[in-house]
Amino acid sequence: MAKSITQFVCAECGFTSPKWLGRCPTCGKFNTLAEEIVKSAETAGGERKPRAKKSKPLSEITFENRNRTSSGISEFDNVLGGGIVAGSLVLLGGDPGIGKSTLLTQIAAHLSETGKVLYFSAEESCSQVKMRAQRLHLNSGNMLIVNETCIDELEPELDGVEFCVIDSIQAVYTEDLSSAAGSVGQVRECAAKLMRIAKSRGITFFIVGHVTKEGALAGPKVLEHIMDTVLYFEGENQENFRILRAVKNRFGNVSEVGVFEMTGEGIVAVTDYSGVFLSESRGEEPGSAVTPAQTGARCMNVEIQTLVAKTSFGQPRRMPLGIDYNKLNLLIAVLEKRCGLGLNAYDVYVNAMGGMKLNEPACDLAICAALSSAYFGKPIDKYTAVFGEVGLTGEVRAVSYCEKRVAECVKMGFKKVLLPAKNMKSVVKYADKISIVPVLYVNTMIKNLFKTEN
Ligand SMILES: Nc1ncnc2c1ncn2[C@@H]1O[C@H](COP(=O)(O)OP(=O)(O)OP(=O)(O)O)[C@@H](O)[C@H]1O
Ligand SMILES: [Mg+2]
């Protein structure tokens, strides 16, 4: 094999050094030098070969129109955008012990019923993988397992393989670089090798990626750029529910989420997710409001819980979970200025139930409703839902998917829904099934729900 020449390049200023240095002598930053392959010894001194022209018109390009393959888990297919695309690279990130290997073992076992699947386990021995498969009652007779950490050993194993699981990218290394497995250079080089194999041989790779303490994928950002799909597997460790979310998808919608439950028999897709994002006690205590949130192609009712407590410090605290910090500050300012709520003397805590992330503007009005409920100490009825975007002037703006949101509320047995007045036209047909309250200003919502004169 041709020996590669490597050098160390500073990620900040581009300084190069033949050996690793802890601190870059040019920009003075610590730990920024990463190993890179420069060129192989074969081509280093020799003449460059003339290159053949490869470009061709788009109309002349043909491809095998294969349908997407199902992973056997409907929620996983949904998040991928309707199934697995051949020759794609799927990165699955998540906290330790969240169930990444379990999910991919289940998928690999399903796929091995129809095609050849290789499980490249760098973290666990073959017997440990077998033990898990047995616990999950998987009939995975055709699944090939290899316990190896060197990615260069992968190529000969891939004959006839359609799907390959790499567990995990941080545990594998290439002999071309001398740095340790998991280092920036190694992760980048191994990912680039996998991409070359995936695109040239049409093999689909599922790659497990570890996350840092802050929750981002460990390794270089380029890892996410190389991938076709980047998925995050999240959930509270003590709770059994898990959420799978796409943060990048070249073949589907990124706002799609999948809901799973971790059981003794493995990971099971949750289709009736009504109980996951709503609490049993809602409607009894002040501070909670329900909003039909649109995630990808689906609409789910999600509860927002808030707590306002008199601040004991000079500056009140704002603690959002699952909601953007700046968005919360903005809504508090609107409630203070436009509706006269004295929230500046209170610490505010907001939480979207079930680990849900509510990024769409349509959830604004429900956050305001929950905050007002906590402020007035008056609970909102259990079967009332609220949605709408809130503007800085305190007006409630129209939102998309209005009809779907109302339909979801009707399906879930809700009795009343407060929505933007400008959306009213599209939902009049539901008027006999649910009480619809059009809202023009945040104030109107507060008056309707809490009967105050604010
Ligand atoms: N016998 C069991 N019954 C129920 N749940 C189990 C059992 N054994 C393991 N688990 C669950 O499986 C989880 C571990 O799953 P898995 O090994 O797939 O996680 P992982 O994300 O791959 O972890 P790592 O990052 O360490 O590789 C545990 O946290 C536990 O919740
Ligand atoms: Mg694992």
405-411 average pLDDT score: 90
Q: Which residues line ligand 1 (CB under 6 A)?
A: 94, 96-102, 123, 135, 262, 264
Q: Are 165 and 262 members of one domain?
A: yes
Q: How far is the CA of 100 from the centre of ligand 2 (A)?
A: 6
| 58 in any annotated domain | no
Of 6-10, 157-161, 348-352, which range is least confident?
6-10
Q: Are 32 and 120 members of one domain?
A: no
CA distance 367 to 386: 9
Q: Are 263 and 352 members of one domain?
A: no
| 201 in any annotated domain | yes
Residue 205 has pLDDT above 90, yes or no: yes
Of 20-34, 156-170, 204-218, which range is least confident?
204-218
Q: Are 384 and 310 members of one domain?
A: yes
Q: Are 309 and 266 members of one domain?
A: no
DSSP state string for 103-140: HHHHHHHHHTTTS-EEEEESSS-HHHHHHHHHHTT---
Q: Are 310 and 257 members of one domain?
A: no
pTM: 0.78
Positive/negative CA dihedral, 325, 331, 334, 336: negative
| 39 in any annotated domain | yes
Q: How far is the CA of 374 from the centre of ligand 1 (A)?
A: 38
Number of independent structural domains in the chain: 3
pLDDT digits (tens, 9 = 90+) for 271-307: 777 777 888 888 888 999 999 998 777 788 999 999 9
Q: Helix 126-135 vs helix 100-111: angle between axes, to the nearest 10 degrees?
A: 80
Q: Are 255 and 296 members of one domain?
A: no
Residue nearest atom 25 in ligand 1 by C-alpha distance: 96
pLDDT digits (tens, 9 = 90+) for 156-191: 899 989 999 999 899 999 998 888 888 888 888 899
CA dihedral (313, 319, 324, 325) in degrees, to 10, reads 10
Q: Mean pLDDT of all residues in the chain? A: 87
331-337 average pLDDT score: 95
Given this model, what pLDDT does residue 453 score?
57
Q: How far is the CA of 145 from the centre of ligand 2 (A)?
A: 14
Select from 245, 271, 297 the last residue of a domain: 271
Domain residues for 242? 68-271
- Can you give the CATH number for the domain in which 367 is found? 3.30.230.10
| 51 in any annotated domain | no
- pLDDT category, 238, cuts 50, 70, 90? low
Which one-letter DSSP state was computed for residue 19? S
Given this model, what pLDDT does residue 9 score?
85
Q: Are 121 and 83 members of one domain?
A: yes
Given this model, what pLDDT does residue 149 score?
93
Which atom from ligand 1 is nearest to the alpha carbon of 94? 21
| 36 in any annotated domain | yes
Q: How far is the CA of 233 from the centre of ligand 1 (A)?
A: 13
Q: Are 74 and 185 members of one domain?
A: yes
| 237 in any annotated domain | yes
Q: Are 85 and 36 members of one domain?
A: no
pLDDT digits (tens, 9 = 90+) for 85-106: 988 999 999 888 889 999 999 9
Ligand located closest to 236 CA: 1
| 334 in any annotated domain | yes
Residue nearest atom 10 in ligand 1 by C-alpha distance: 264
52-66 average pLDDT score: 80
64-90 average pLDDT score: 87
pLDDT digits (tens, 9 = 90+) for 244-257: 988 899 988 887 78
Residue 454 has pLDDT above 80, yes or no: no
CA distance 230 to 415: 39
Ligand located closest to 121 CA: 2
- Can you give the CATH number for the domain in which 229 is found? 3.40.50.300
Radius of gyration of the chain (CA): 26
Residue nearest atom 6 in ligand 1 by C-alpha distance: 264
Which atom from ligand 1 is nearest to the alpha carbon of 98? 21
Residue nearest atom 23 in ligand 1 by C-alpha distance: 97
Q: How far is the CA of 108 from the centre of ligand 2 (A)?
A: 14
408-420 average pLDDT score: 91
Q: Are 429 and 325 members of one domain?
A: yes
**Among candidate residues 443, 398, 393, 442, the one with its CA nearest the CA of residue 420:** 398
| 60 in any annotated domain | no
Q: Are 294 and 212 members of one domain?
A: no
